[in-house]
């Protein structure tokens, strides 16, 4: 039986009608048009679908709607745009971190959560924060560098 | 500009008219078309650099059109590291010719000589003074339907200002902002679809418990069946997904495959029916000299794209439009036209970005699936995404390979003759290029005949034989190739084809022969490598890795290196790997040095070299497709693990600059030497050679017990 759920998505309160066990990713992509959240496996194994729920990185492919009710969801669309990129997105551009790019939405989300709680992460911290993500193209080392660069930018060390 | 006779690149012979490549638009841009598509390798950006260079335009005046079967040139597939060599060479010639035509026309209009004209930002200057005409005002006066002659010499490399620069990838900004993919195309009234896959080409659907499937779906679905082709359609994506997931257990098939336990291993290949060929020199088995033999293997591996394949299609009643992330839109529409019995012109295929594919994955097959469904539902836009299990279970795999090396040594302990005996299923079943067909064709009434496997020709670099011949100076080399004709799973092109196992084997043998000869592996290689470019990459990588300080080995720390020239004709690459081995392998550092001739975008090339090294490492250390009974059993990322962030070493990639040399395909050159350097480094660390990939924990433990 479908129910009405209230969630806040990228700062806006939304009402969604959905089955209680419907994974959040379907709502984001098919109901709300937020297609930047990517499907990879549906199994919490690849990290492509990562979103922030109350600030915590969470697999949208496995979060049932009734566990998201009343909460705040943040997706890649809230980070920045092509015209006005978030420092993380800018750092990924500066490092040219990515090949096919399919993994990047999810990775940017986990990176944001990391930098929100730890402005000066070590390489090991970055790796730990991203270890739930797969990248098949092998862009890893650039991605690690990009997160490091973004951290420096956000600390105000713009000249990296 | 001097005029000379040029051999036209293949793409230009097939698409001879200038208008197939170039269009001067009213908004003062130039549309440059290519049949090659972006698969994460940055090719579209690199091609735009070549166009802007020859047209003397800033990059932002060049707008690329890529992968459009109606408006762009037919350049077959984006594969084999050929894009810059073939499409790039064509675009270079076409743009040089276009510029010359425009200049000649402008000279006529301005009543001056061509030599008096210069061009800046598309505007003409006479003896340095601005005129009021530009490319765009002159372009309509030129017949772009004329055939390219290829006779206008392009710029000399010394004049380059855009080619050879690090130019940021054009596709990345949108990808970083959550856009740009085929997956984002979800029209409002779209019909979602999922498949029930025929488990094998001979399998016949005996029964499908439709009630159980509808129950599992939860929402409204339509079940569409034609022969053994079954799809679930509906407005709600989750319902069709649930239906398809449940249907697997509710379908009964006759004649499904029945794979036996041993068949997933490379060892099984030996003794199977095969198409046998021999290449190279005759080798006298009774010649004098010590003979060294070793056997190497690599299991079936997967493309394992990060997202399952997806396609959309809409049939108007007359015309079928397909959106796909496949590697070639012209071949795709030809192949689909054949199955659907439509005229080719009745189909348009348009490329949209997908996840990296690294070869022939499910992208083409899903496009036929969705086309079949679209024909059944005229007017509706159908969106079909394979399930994760479906991609892992039904993509065409990278073949298992068995490689036997037999080397006869001369008195100095160097190879006098070298035989590589290779057993492998085919490395190419792209429909239209060899023997394969699009997957769903076998499920329809009147399926195509079973394919007769073929491998790529030796002139094209071979498949199972790719890089089986050492690049070293060896008096006699030969290859015995057994193309195994009936493997348990469908196989096709995966990045580097047979080069990875062949280079892994041959570079291991070289290291072992060096040890046997009491020589340093680097010196031993250099003593039989006369090509100066090959020597340069090896020496440079050795310097970067501090090779002269290498320890004696056997104590868990390894440093190994390897070299290959991809296909023995494309880019050169040498790789060194430092690692530690306890119960498993920990990569510490990878150094890659490559020479790809003229490099269009050095940072783009480094990105490819790094990615290739990581993918090669992942295949070497971790990956193996498993199968049993009806099919593949490694159906998720737990059962098919790949290298993770926590396993990534430091990587340094360096490109030796050779602007005067022709561009050589670089996209694949770092993969195989990385695999081989890991193998050699592990052997150095353990004091013991592991011959079979992957170099898994089990194999390391077994080696430690030895
Ligand atoms: S799609 Fe959610 S983890 Fe893979
Ligand atoms: S860039 Fe392709 S999967 Fe990460």
Compute the radius of gyration of chain A from its Cα atoms.
16
Given a cut of 90, is residue B565 above it in pLDDT?
yes
Q: Which helix (H) or strand (E) holds B365?
A: helix B363-376
Spatial contact of B544 and B578, defined as CB atoms under 8 Å apart: no
Dump pLDDT digits (tens) for B265-295.
999 999 999 999 999 999 998 999 999 999 9
Asked if residue A92 has its Cβ within 6 Å of ligand 1, the reply is: no
Contacts of residue B231, Cβ cutoff 8 Å, sequence gap at least 6: B193, B194, B195, B196, B223, B224, B225, B369, B372, B373, B384
Residue A109 and residue A52 in one domain:
no
Output the CA A47–ligand 1 centroid distance in Å: 5
Taking the C-alpha atoms of residue B684 and residue B550, their distance in angstroms, rounded to an integer, is 10
Q: Is the pTM of this model over 0.90?
A: yes
The answer, yes or no, to whether the previous bond of A2 is cis (omega within 30 of 0) is no
Closest CA to B682 of B609, B620, B602: B620
Reported as half-sphere exposure (CB side, CA atoms, 13 A), residue B59 has a value of 16
The number of the ligand 1 atom at minimal distance from the alpha carbon of A47 is: 3
Please judge whether B388 and A42 are an interchain contact, meaning their C-beta atoms are less than 8 angstroms apart. yes
Mean pLDDT of the region B87-113: 95
Taking the C-alpha atoms of residue B472 and residue B256, their distance in angstroms, rounded to an integer, is 47
Tell whether A127 is within 8 A of chain B (Cβ).
yes
Output the CA A45–ligand 1 centroid distance in Å: 6
Q: Residue A42: which pLDDT band, with cuts at 50, 70 and 90?
A: very high
List domains and CATH numbers for chain B.
10-165 (3.30.365.10), 186-256+304-394 (3.30.365.10), 401-705 (3.30.365.10)
Residue B263, beta-bridge partner list: none
Given a cut of 90, is residue B431 above it in pLDDT?
no
Spatial contact of A88 and A113, defined as CB atoms under 8 Å apart: no
Tell whether A38 is within 8 A of chain B (Cβ).
yes
Whether A53 is in a domain gets the answer yes
Spatial contact of B100 and B135, defined as CB atoms under 8 Å apart: no
Task: Name the one residue in this structure whose structure tokens are 């070793």.
Answer: B294
Which of A78, A97, A128 is where one domain is finished?
A78
Taking the C-alpha atoms of residue B425 and residue B488, their distance in angstroms, rounded to an integer, is 10
Asked if residue A49 has its Cβ within 6 Å of ligand 1, the reply is: yes
Tell whether B354 is within 8 A of chain A (Cβ).
yes
What is the per-residue pLDDT for B450? Answer: 83
Measured between CA atoms, the residue of chain B closest to residue A36 is B178
Please judge whether A134 and B642 are an interchain contact, meaning their C-beta atoms are less than 8 angstroms apart. yes
What is the per-residue pLDDT for A157? Answer: 84
Please judge whether B178 and A35 are an interchain contact, meaning their C-beta atoms are less than 8 angstroms apart. yes
- Lookup: tokens for B603: 């940072």
What is the per-residue pLDDT for B1? Answer: 40
Dump pLDDT digits (tens) for B342-388.
999 999 999 999 999 999 999 999 999 999 999 999 999 999 999 99
Whether A127 is in a domain gets the answer yes
Which is more confidently placed, B8 or B472? B472
Spatial contact of B329 and B37, defined as CB atoms under 8 Å apart: yes
Sign of the alpha-carbon torsion through A8, A12, A13, A16: negative
Residues of B in contact with A102 (CB under 8 A): 175, 181, 306-307, 354-356
Mean pLDDT of the region B27-38: 93
What is the per-residue pLDDT for B78? Answer: 81
Which of A78, A98, A128 is where one domain is finished?
A78
Whether A132 is in a domain gets the answer yes
Whether A17 is in a domain gets the answer yes
Residues of A in contact with B650 (CB under 8 A): 141
Dump pLDDT digits (tens) for B180-212.
899 999 999 999 999 999 999 999 999 999 999
Given a cut of 90, is residue B437 above it in pLDDT?
no
Q: Residue B6: which pLDDT band, with cuts at 50, 70 and 90?
A: low
Taking the C-alpha atoms of residue B37 and residue B568, their distance in angstroms, rounded to an integer, is 25
Helices (H), chain A: 24-26, 87-94, 104-117, 123-130, 140-154
Dump pLDDT digits (tens) for B317-346.
999 999 999 999 999 999 999 999 999 999
Residue A68 and residue A94 in one domain:
no
Closest CA to B243 of B272, B208, B292, B285: B208
Residues of B in contact with A40 (CB under 8 A): 306-307, 388
Q: In chain A, pLDDT over 70 holds for what percent of residues?
A: 98
Taking the C-alpha atoms of residue A20 and residue B114, their distance in angstroms, rounded to an integer, is 73
Greatest alpha-carbon pair distance for chain B in Å reads 86
Sign of the alpha-carbon torsion through B350, B352, B356, B361: negative
Residue A72 and residue A94 in one domain:
no
Residues of B in contact with A76 (CB under 8 A): 177-178
Task: Name the one residue in this structure whose structure tokens are 């880019």.
Answer: B571
Sign of the alpha-carbon torsion through B201, B205, B210, B212: negative
Host domain of residue A50:
3-78
Residues of B in contact with A99 (CB under 8 A): 40-42, 356, 607-608, 611
Output the CA A99–ligand 2 centroid distance in Å: 5
Output the CA A48–ligand 1 centroid distance in Å: 5
Residue B354, exposed/middle/buried by CB under 10 A (0-12, 13-18, 19+)?
buried
Q: Residue A159: which pLDDT band, with cuts at 50, 70 and 90?
A: low
Spatial contact of B157 and B597, defined as CB atoms under 8 Å apart: no
Taking the C-alpha atoms of residue A99 and residue A137, their distance in angstroms, rounded to an integer, is 6
Closest CA to B527 of B673, B358, B412, B362: B412
Q: Residue B2: which pLDDT band, with cuts at 50, 70 and 90?
A: very low
Residue A107 and residue A64 in one domain:
no
What is the per-residue pLDDT for A158? Answer: 61
Residue A10 and residue A69 in one domain:
yes
Residue A69 and residue A91 in one domain:
no
For A157, the 3-state DSSP assignment is coil
Could you say which of A23, A43, A108 has the minimum Cβ distance to residue B636?
A43
- The whole-chain average pLDDT of chain B stands at 95
Residue A7 and residue A73 in one domain:
yes
Taking the C-alpha atoms of residue B481 and residue B464, their distance in angstroms, rounded to an integer, is 7
Taking the C-alpha atoms of residue B336 and residue B372, their distance in angstroms, rounded to an integer, is 9
Residue A105 and residue A144 in one domain:
yes
Mean pLDDT of the region B423-430: 95
Contacts of residue B168, Cβ cutoff 8 Å, sequence gap at least 6: A93, A96, B45
Residue B678, exposed/middle/buried by CB under 10 A (0-12, 13-18, 19+)?
buried
Given a cut of 50, is residue B646 above it in pLDDT?
yes
Whether A160 is in a domain gets the answer no
For B699, the 3-state DSSP assignment is helix
- Lookup: tokens for B689: 């050679």
Please judge whether B176 and A35 are an interchain contact, meaning their C-beta atoms are less than 8 angstroms apart. no
Please judge whether B355 and A45 are an interchain contact, meaning their C-beta atoms are less than 8 angstroms apart. no
Residue A50 and residue A11 in one domain:
yes
Asked if residue A59 has its Cβ within 6 Å of ligand 1, the reply is: yes
Interface ipTM > 0.90:
yes
Whether A113 is in a domain gets the answer yes
User: Given strand B381-385, what is the order of strands in its sheet?
Assistant: B222-226, B229-234, B191-196, B381-385, B310-315, B320-324, B347-351
Q: Domain with A143 in it: what CATH number? A: 1.10.150.120
Could you say which of B41, B306, B603 has the minimum Cβ distance to residue A96?
B603
**Of A51-55, A78-82, B87-91, B392-396, minimum mean pLDDT range:** B87-91
Given a cut of 50, is residue B409 above it in pLDDT?
yes
Mean pLDDT of the region B679-684: 98
- The interaxial angle of helices B697-705 and B671-686, nearest 10 deg, is 30
Distances (CA, A) of B617 to A53, B301, B470: 35, 13, 21
Output the CA A49–ligand 1 centroid distance in Å: 5
Pocket of ligand 2 (CB under 6 A): A 98-103, 135-137, 139; B 40, 306, 356
Question: Angle at CA B77, nearest 5°, toward B58 and B635?
Answer: 115
Output the CA B650–ligand 1 centroid distance in Å: 27
Asked if residue A41 has its Cβ within 6 Å of ligand 1, the reply is: yes
What is the per-residue pLDDT for B77? Answer: 85
What is the per-residue pLDDT for B5? Answer: 47
Which is more confidently placed, A1 or B636? B636
Ligand 2 binding pocket mutation candidate from B175, B306, B353, B495 (most atoms within 8 A of CB):
B306
User: Given strand B30-34, what is the order of strands in its sheet?
Assistant: B22-24, B30-34, B62-66
Residue A7 and residue A60 in one domain:
yes
Whether A159 is in a domain gets the answer no
Question: Angle at CA B425, nearest 5°, toward B493 and B433?
Answer: 45
- The whole-chain average pLDDT of chain A stands at 96
Tell whether A30 is within 8 A of chain B (Cβ).
yes
Q: In chain B, pLDDT over 90 holds for what percent of residues?
A: 91
What is the per-residue pLDDT for B241? Answer: 98
Label the pairing between strands B30-34 and B22-24: antiparallel
Which of A78, A99, A133 is where one domain is finished?
A78
Cα-flanking dihedrals φ and ψ of residue B223, to 5°?
-105, 120
Mean pLDDT of the region A78-88: 97
What is the per-residue pLDDT for B433? Answer: 66
Asked if residue A105 has its Cβ within 6 Å of ligand 1, the reply is: no
Dump pLDDT digits (tens) for B581-630.
999 999 999 999 999 999 999 999 999 999 999 999 999 999 999 999 99
For B40, the 3-state DSSP assignment is coil
Given a cut of 90, is residue B152 above it in pLDDT?
yes
Dump pLDDT digits (tens) for B164-181.
999 999 999 999 999 889
User: Given strand B117-120, what is the order of strands in its sheet?
Assistant: B117-120, B123-126, B129-134
Residue A66 C-alpha, separation from nearest chain B C-alpha, in angstroms: 16
Output the CA A106–ligand 1 centroid distance in Å: 9
- Lookup: tokens for B233: 């359609």
Given a cut of 80, is residue B442 above it in pLDDT?
yes
Whether A145 is in a domain gets the answer yes
Residue A70 and residue A108 in one domain:
no
Closest CA to B15 of B117, B101, B93, B109: B93
Please judge whether B178 and A77 are an interchain contact, meaning their C-beta atoms are less than 8 angstroms apart. yes
Taking the C-alpha atoms of residue B683 and residue B198, their distance in angstroms, rounded to an integer, is 43
Taking the C-alpha atoms of residue B353 and residue B517, their distance in angstroms, rounded to an integer, is 51
Residue A114 and residue A95 in one domain:
yes
Ligand 1 binding pocket mutation candidate from A38, A43, A107 (most atoms within 8 A of CB):
A43
Measured between CA atoms, the residue of chain A closest to residue B191 is A30
Please judge whether A46 and B238 are an interchain contact, meaning their C-beta atoms are less than 8 angstroms apart. no
Spatial contact of B602 and B583, defined as CB atoms under 8 Å apart: no
For chain A, how many structural domains are there in total?
2
Please judge whether B388 and A138 are an interchain contact, meaning their C-beta atoms are less than 8 angstroms apart. no
């Amino acid at each position: 039986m479908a129910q009405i759920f209230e969630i806040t998505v990228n700062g806006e309160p939304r009402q969604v009608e959905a089955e209680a066990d419907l994974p959040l990713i379907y709502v984001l992509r098919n109901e709300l048009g937020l297609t930047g959240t990517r499907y990879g496996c549906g199994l919490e194994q690849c990290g492509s679908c990562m979103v922030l729920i109350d600030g915590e990185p969470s697999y949208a492919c496995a979060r049932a709607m009734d566990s998201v009710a009343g909460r705040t969801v943040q997706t890649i669309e809230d980070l920045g745009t092509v015209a006005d990129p978030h420092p993380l997105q800018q750092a990924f551009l500066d490092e040219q971190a990515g090949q096919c790019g399919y993994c990047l939405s999810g990775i940017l989300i986990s990176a944001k959560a990391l930098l929100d709680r730890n402005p000066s992460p070590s390489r090991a911290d970055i790796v730990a924060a991203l270890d739930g993500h797969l990248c098949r193209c092998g862009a890893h080392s650039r991605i690690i560098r990009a997160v490091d660069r973004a951290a420096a930018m956000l600390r105000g060390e713009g000249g990296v | 500009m001097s005029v000379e006779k040029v051999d036209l690149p293949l793409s230009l012979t097939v698409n001879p008219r200038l208008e197939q490549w170039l269009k001067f638009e009213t908004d003062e841009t130039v549309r440059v078309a290519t049949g090659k598509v972006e698969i994460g390798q940055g090719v579209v950006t690199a091609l735009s650099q070549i166009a802007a260079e020859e047209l003397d335009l800033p990059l932002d005046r060049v707008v690329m059109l890529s992968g459009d079967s109606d408006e762009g040139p037919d350049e077959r597939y984006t594969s084999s590291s050929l894009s810059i060599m073939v499409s790039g060479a064509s675009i270079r010639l076409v743009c040089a010719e276009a510029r010359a035509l425009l200049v000649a026309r402008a000279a006529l209009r301005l009543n001056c000589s061509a030599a008096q004209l210069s061009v800046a930002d598309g505007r003409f200057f006479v003896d340095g003074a601005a005129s009021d005409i530009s490319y765009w005002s002159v372009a309509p006066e030129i017949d772009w339907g004329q055939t390219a002659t290829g006779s206008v010499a392009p710029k000399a490399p010394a004049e380059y200002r855009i080619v050879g620069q690090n130019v940021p990838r054009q596709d990345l900004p949108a990808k970083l902002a959550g856009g740009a993919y085929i997956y984002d195309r979800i029209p409002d009234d779209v019909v979602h679809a999922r498949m029930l896959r025929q488990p094998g080409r001979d399998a016949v659907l005996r029964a499908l418990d439709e009630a159980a499937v509808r129950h599992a779906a939860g929402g409204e679905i339509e079940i569409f069946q034609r022969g053994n082709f079954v799809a679930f359609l509906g407005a709600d994506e989750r319902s069709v997904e649930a239906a398809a997931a449940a249907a697997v257990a509710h379908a009964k098939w006759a004649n499904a495959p029945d794979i036996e336990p041993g068949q997933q291993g490379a060892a099984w290949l030996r003794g199977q029916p095969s198409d046998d060929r021999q290449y190279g020199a005759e080798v006298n088995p009774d010649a004098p000299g010590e003979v060294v033999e070793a056997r190497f293997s690599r299991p079936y591996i997967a493309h394992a794209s990060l997202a399952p394949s997806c396609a959309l299609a809409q049939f108007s009643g007359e015309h079928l439009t397909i959106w796909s992330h496949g590697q070639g839109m012209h071949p795709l529409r030809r192949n689909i036209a054949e199955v659907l019995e439509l005229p080719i012109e009745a189909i348009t295929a348009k490329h949209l970005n997908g996840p990296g594919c690294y070869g022939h994955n499910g992208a083409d097959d899903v496009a036929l699936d969705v086309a079949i469904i679209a024909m059944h539902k005229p007017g509706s836009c159908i969106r079909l995404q394979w399930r994760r299990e479906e991609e892992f279970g039904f993509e065409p795999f990278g073949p298992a390979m068995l490689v036997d090396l037999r080397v006869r040594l001369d008195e100095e302990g160097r190879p006098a003759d070298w035989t590589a005996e290779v057993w492998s299923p085919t490395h190419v079943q792209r429909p239209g290029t060899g023997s394969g067909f699009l997957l769903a064709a076998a499920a329809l009434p009147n399926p195509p005949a079973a394919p007769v496997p073929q491998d790529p020709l030796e002139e094209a670099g071979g498949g199972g034989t790719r890089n089986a011949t050492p690049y070293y100076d060896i008096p006699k080399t030969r290859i015995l190739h057994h193309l195994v004709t009936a493997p348990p799973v469908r196989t096709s092109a995966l990045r580097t084809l047979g080069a990875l196992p062949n280079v892994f084997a041959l570079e291991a043998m070289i290291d072992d022969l060096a040890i046997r000869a009491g020589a340093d592996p680097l010196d031993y290689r250099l003593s039989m490598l006369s090509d100066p470019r090959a020597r340069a990459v090896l020496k440079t990588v050795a310097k970067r890795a501090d090779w002269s300080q290498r320890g004696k080995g056997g104590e868990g720390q390894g440093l190994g290196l390897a070299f290959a020239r991809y296909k023995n004709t494309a880019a050169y690459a040498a790789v060194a790997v430092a690692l530690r081995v306890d119960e498993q392998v920990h990569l510490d550092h990878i150094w890659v040095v490559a020479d790809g001739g003229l490099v269009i975008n050095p940072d783009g090339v480094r990105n490819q070299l790094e990615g290739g090294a990581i993918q090669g490492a992942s295949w070497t250390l971790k990956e193996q497709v498993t199968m049993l009974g009806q099919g593949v059993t490694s159906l998720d990322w737990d059962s098919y693990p790949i290298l993770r962030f926590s396993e990534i070493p430091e990587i340094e990639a360096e490109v030796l600059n050779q602007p005067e040399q022709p561009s050589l395909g670089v996209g694949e050159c770092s993969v195989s030497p990385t695999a081989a350097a890991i193998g050699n480094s592990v052997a150095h660390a353990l004091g013991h050679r592991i011959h079979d990939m992957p170099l898994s924990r089990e194999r390391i433990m077994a080696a430690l017990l030895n």
